[in-house]
Amino acid sequence: MHRFLSNFCLLTLVCTVLFNCANRGTPSGGEKDVTPPEIVRSVPENNSINFKGKEIRIYFDEYIKLNDIQKQLIVSPPMDPAPEITPLGSASKYITIKIHDTLQENTTYAFNFGTSIVDNNEGNPYPYYRYVFSTGNHIDSLSINGFVKNALERTPDDFVSVMLYEVNDTFTDSIIYKQKPKYITNTLDSTTTFKLENLKAGKYLMIALKEKNEDYIFQQKTDKIAFKKEFITLPSDSVYEMNLFKEVTDFKPVRPSLVSGNKIAFGYEGEGEDMNIEILSQTTSDFKSVITKEVEKDTLNFWYKPNFEADSVMVNVSKADFTETFKVNLRDLKKDTLIVKPIEGRSLKLQEDFQLQGTTPFASMDESKITILDKDSTNVSFTSRLDTFNNTYNLSFDKTEENIYRITLLPGALTDFFEDRNDTLNFNVRTKAEIDYGEIRVNLQNAVYPVIVQLVDKKGELEVEQYVEDASKPIDFLSLNPGKYFIRVIFDTNKNGKYDSGNFLNKIQPERVSHDSKEIDVRAYSEQIITFTLQ
């Protein structure tokens, strides 16, 4: 019995020791570290004056990393070449800034790190740290602020650069295409507001850019721009609104080339609808030509007959005050053949026309060789319309819901520019029941007519639009596919029936656009009345 008690006590002691050891080996957890890193010191100190150095070090109380420094860091005024910032891809207890540019005299420089500085363990940010120094004997302290919005889109862009160019004896409007700005800031990724700090008094041009290359130089082809028409003078307590838009690219033709038999392609940048093409070489008395727009390409196709007898032809391209002459080399190529396809799918709304598109230019239609029958084999009358530029034929006919229409084109119904004709073509289209669609009536308040009323999706893609010249008629959108929409209204100031963007050099702002922030949920067999008060 005594031996049993001794063994029991020994076993109890061993288990207690093992239990305590197990407890000591198990992590106890604890609260997560949410404290951002702190700056211990800077060399030279922040807000130093009479700066002459080439290197800056900023020391922290723990290891830090730099996240997305290429986007987050804003150096104002910009340096060229850009400063070298470390660490990159590793952790360190200090940030090193190596300056390779020749600094301007009597100028205040600022390094805004955004949210790029985080601690190494938990990623806690040291937000919006600014390191400032001056090459002169004082720190410039003026500031301005504002916000950036999109002219056409409902959703604003992120990482928009807002810039100031000093207006002095050497200033010209072309400076934004050639030089970096005097001051710069950025809206970053979480806000549309901006603040430019450490500015000196003076007169400035203010612009904003959403860039592709992020070089602070305006590239018309790729960048969006906003600008204040009047120069701003500092100091100022105004809040500035910047309206970002994409300029229409200046017209420029691409060297034309023969792409198939009797077809010369004229590519272009900008808008090409009013581009004139003139053959300068000698042609025969029976020479004919037609111009069509290439589908989804910035290209006009110049079709001609008969063949040129020469090995090349001279052509002139002109638009407005632009003109240029090109030489097009000719060779023996196979002509395109006539292929006819419908533009719409198998479903057609009651208000839509049936559209046919050809691979070669349509010349004529023989309606006697076309029949449209509904599901009861009843003949349906129609009218046709040729859009020469887009090379489409529209067939208009009365439709009823939940019907099927068989459209037959007998051989020779369509004749193209080269007098080729179609073989037998059969197309089937159907209409849905009206209960499958939704309807919206839009009432506008504070409208200045004419306006273009649009329904767009979440991404801003256009679904349907109406041109409204006055308030006398209701604005009804019928046969809407179920989905979610937003209302966008364009004030058509120049009354040309389309949205017109702005132009910096011509000091033209984009046409005014109002967005309704409320999402419209369109359901099948539903009717809604929406009142939109325009701002």
Q: pLDDT per residue over 418-477, tens digit each? A: 999 999 999 999 999 999 999 999 999 999 999 999 999 999 999 999 999 999 989 999
The predicted pLDDT at position 190 comes to 64
pLDDT tens digits along 211-268: 998 889 999 999 999 999 999 999 999 999 999 999 999 999 999 999 999 999 999 9
Residue 316 pLDDT level (bands cut at 50, 70, 90): very high
The predicted pLDDT at position 115 comes to 87
Could you tell me which residues are beta bridge partners of residue 43?
A: 57
Calpha distance 485→84 (Å, rounded): 47
Question: Where in the chain do CATH 2.60.40.1220 domains reside?
Answer: 39-134, 340-432
Residue type, 200: K
Fold of 436-533: Immunoglobulin-like (2.60.40)
Residue 84 pLDDT more than 80?
Answer: yes
Which stretches of 137-229 are DSSP H helices? 175-178
Q: What is the mean pLDDT of the chain?
A: 92
Calpha distance 217→286 (Å, rounded): 52
Tokens of 363: 């010349």
Residue 14 pLDDT more than 70?
Answer: no
The predicted pLDDT at position 30 comes to 53
Residue 303 pLDDT more than 70?
Answer: yes
The predicted pLDDT at position 58 comes to 97
pLDDT tens digits along 353-363: 999 999 999 99
> Quick one: which of 197, 42, 29 has its CA closest to 117?
42
Residue 181 pLDDT more than 90?
Answer: yes
The predicted pLDDT at position 226 comes to 98
The vertex-27 CA angle with 23 and 30, nearest 5°, equals: 120
Residue 490 pLDDT more than 70?
Answer: yes
Residue 12 pLDDT more than 70?
Answer: no
Residue 153 pLDDT more than 70?
Answer: yes
Tokens of 314: 């001279």
Instruction: Output the pTM of the full model.
Output: 0.84
Place of tokens 């017109």: 500
Higher pLDDT, 490 or 6: 490
Residue 311 pLDDT more than 80?
Answer: yes
Q: What's phi and psi for 15, nearest 5 deg?
A: -60, -40
Fold of 252-329: Immunoglobulin-like (2.60.40)
pLDDT tens digits along 15-33: 444 444 444 444 445 566 6
The predicted pLDDT at position 26 comes to 40
Residue 35 pLDDT level (bands cut at 50, 70, 90): confident
The predicted pLDDT at position 128 comes to 86
Average pLDDT for 484-506 = 96
- Choose which CATH entry (3.30.1370.100, 2.60.40.1220, 3.10.105.10, 3.20.20.10) describes domain 340-432: 2.60.40.1220
- Choose which CATH entry (1.10.1040.10, 3.40.50.620, 2.60.40.1220, 3.40.50.300) describes domain 39-134: 2.60.40.1220
Residue 98 pLDDT more than 50?
Answer: yes
Question: Where in the chain do CATH 2.60.40.10 domains reside?
Answer: 252-329, 436-533
Q: What is the DSSP letter of 460?
A: -
Average pLDDT for 77-91 = 93
Q: Which helix (H) or strand (E) holds 12?
A: helix 2-25
Average pLDDT for 384-395 = 97
How many CB atoms lie under 10 A from the CB of residue 421? 16
The predicted pLDDT at position 535 comes to 81
The predicted pLDDT at position 269 comes to 95
Average pLDDT for 98-119 = 94
Give exposure, 374-406, as e/b (b: 16+ Cβ within 10 Å). Answer: beeeeebebeeeeeeeebbbbbeeebeeebebe
